[in-house]
Amino acid sequence: MRKTCADFKKHYICKSFQARRIWERPVLSILIKKMTAGRLPKKKLDDYPIYLGSDLGVFCHNGSTKFRIWAPVAQMVNLHLYERGNGGNKLASFEMKQGNGGTWFFHYDGNLSGYYYTFQALINHQWKSEVPDPYAIAVGVNGDRGMIVDMSLLNPPGWENDSGPVFGSFNEMVLWEVHMRDFSIHVSSGSKYPGKYLAFTERGTRSPEGYSTGIDHLLELGVTHVHLLPVFDFFTVDEQRLDVPQYNWGYDPKNFNVPEGSYATDPYDGRVRIQEFKQMIKALHDAGLGVIMDVVYNHMYDAVSSPFEQLVPGYYFRQWPDGSLSNGSGCGNEIASERPMVQKFIVDSVKFWAKEYHFDGFRFDLMGLLDSETMNLIRHELSLINPGILIYGEGWVAGDSPLTPNRRATKDNLRQLDGIAVFSDEIRDGIRGNAFHNGAPGFMAGNPDSRESVKFGVVAATKHPQVRYQQVNYFKSPYSDSPLKTISYVTCHDNPVLWDIVNSTCPHCSESQKLDIQKFANAIVLTSQGIPFLHAGEEIVRTKFGEHNSYNLPDEINQLIWSNKSRYYDVFRFYSKLIGLRKNHPAFRMTSVAQIQKHLSFLDQDNPLIVGFLLANHANGDRWKKILVFYNAAEREVKVNLPEECWRVVAYKNEINENGVNGVPYKDCFEQNIMLPSRSVMILVDKQSVEN
């Protein structure tokens, strides 16, 4: 309901429900005095005051509304109120007061929930643009104005008891990465909410062929966590034109603490996206699935127009000595995580998502652009909330950065990071080949030079005496001091999907042979140490038609076509059984370097297209005493010798049976040698263990 000017008690300038500009006030002499009061930007950023309070942002609760922002170089700051998230005239303007630690605050004795707001700072005698504050937790359409909300009123029923699944160790998780829109936008998903948060709340959805889709598909597959590509408010999708086809991965941040509006059923009312976002998370938790948020704290889409720059120019973004913005992100700017108030914002933001939205993990985009101290502080703070929250990220940068290499949260410095994992591009490209060189084969397509990189991945980038590190593709030494700090994967949203890589690296292969490789690649991932990570749709043979970078390409390229499940059900079934095997056997999930060195030994193989290793002596408490794993990347069968034992086959080509695979060419006991089928994984177990 529209309020009159009289409803706003103090500091307002009002005419016909419109706020006059501050400089129209009759007390112009007071304004001029304030403008020249000497609060000009300090030359040294290190001299800026630090605010340690927990009340930055906008809080509406128990009949009062409080605003506080950090703007230490501002001469004045005004708060503007609107009835709408876009368009319309100002309802009122308020002059904020200076607080401690470089902050400005305003307290309103009344509930302003439902109104929209912006802040505007006077800096160096110039009024900056109106912006929501960096800590905004709700916004209007396209995120240009903040929204005042009482978060406690936006929870779905049962939210107070909501929580994700609990695991004893991070490598018990199996991660499945998906873009919000890809998940349900195609008609074959059977969703009533295509491309929306609510698609993750539906159960019983089916493809036209009658196969499970959506959440039911994930449960049937056996993954434990859904990794959502960015779902914070991002820049490049116009939420006012959702009837026009638009697509973006979302690695272009606008408001870090707000859900993206294009995935909500109503992007105009800032409360709707919050409610539906929480409904999504609760539905996934109710199904027993964890939820991981892809976060992008290393840069913003537009640094200049951002609330950071408009409120504290020059502080939040790194610069070179000449004053130009550095570009270690490859996106035009990079956030200066090492500065105290930037670090505070990032830590506060991650904690907000963990506490308010109950996330079970965070994946950090270009984590190497964040400093190790900040990442360790995030780990510490999240562990106080929930020690089971998983943290992982890209342990590299995209370009040169003023942040010195020894301070970066990269693979090189992984031993300095406590309880934080990185992606292993060694096993990734060891298996698939370098995706930046189209057609360059990896181990899966028969490249004999990739074997040591695969072995490096098998031991999760840790130290092992049988890995020849000088032959590993990128890192020439073990950088991980724990298998729990390594993400094993072969594909993700970046670069071509697995099926397209298979087609480019093995063009002469038949479809049957290509499908063998499709299974083989992730069979290596799921039988390696570390934390396994799968790209959505690999289990139903998705294609992006050869596109290497589909970040802004249409649904026709990116969408999951659920009808593929019926066509490639044998691939799905193989993935599902392999995940089940991994879950059932802790030998594939050892938790320390000492365990791996004690229980895992590689078998000598003359053929460079064969990797074989033994998991011995009930590794990690496994009920199986001895497990033999072979990877055969050759295009034909290969005979290998077996350690002295009576071995039962439990995984052969496309079949997995923990009691033993039956039928020709299998037999009850292999003792001296065995023929490995082409392009596949074979797993054998000592017969006594299987029968017991």
Q: Quick one: residue 620, left, alpha or beta (phi over 0 = left, psi -120 to 50 = alpha)?
A: left
Per-residue 3-state assignment (H helix, E strand, C coil) for 382-421: HHHHCCCCEEEECCCCCCCCCCCHHHECCHHHHHHCCCCE
For residues 460 and 486, give the distance between their C-alpha atoms in angstroms, rounded to a whole number. 6
Buried b (16+ CB within 10 A) or exposed e, 267-306: bbbbbbbbbbbbbbbbbbbebebbbbbbbbbbbbbebeeb
Non-local (6+) Cβ contacts of 600 within 8 A are 458, 459, 464, 529, 590, 613, 614, 615, 616, 619
Coil, strand or helix: which one is 115? coil
Adjacent-strand bridge partners of 638: 676
Q: Where are the alpha helices (DSSP H) in 527-609?
A: 555-558, 564-567, 569-584, 593-599
**Which of 583, 582, 542, 585 lies closest to 565, judged by CA?**
542
Coil vs helix vs strand at 500:
helix
Residues forming a β-bridge with 362 = 293, 391
Strand partners, 232: 259
Burial class for 354, CB neighbours closer than 10 Å (0-12, 13-18, 19+): buried
Nearest alpha-carbon partner for 490 in 444, 547, 436: 444
How many CA within 13 A on the CB side of residue 15?
5
CB 511 within 8 A of CB 494: no
Q: Say how far apart CA 611 and CA 225 lie, in whole Å.
A: 29
What phi and psi values does residue 27 have, to the nearest 5 degrees? -90, 55
Which residue in this structure is represented by tokens 């409080």?
A: 66
Q: Which helix (H) or strand (E) holds 505?
A: helix 498-505
Residue listed under structure tokens 């084969």: 441
Paired tokens of 248 = 């973006």
Q: What are phi and psi of 198, to 5 degrees?
A: -65, -15
**Gyration radius (Cα) of the chain, Å:** 28
Active-site annotation, residues: 365, 394
Q: Any idea which residue has 């069968």 for tokens? A: 637
End-to-end CA distance of the chain, in Å?
A: 72
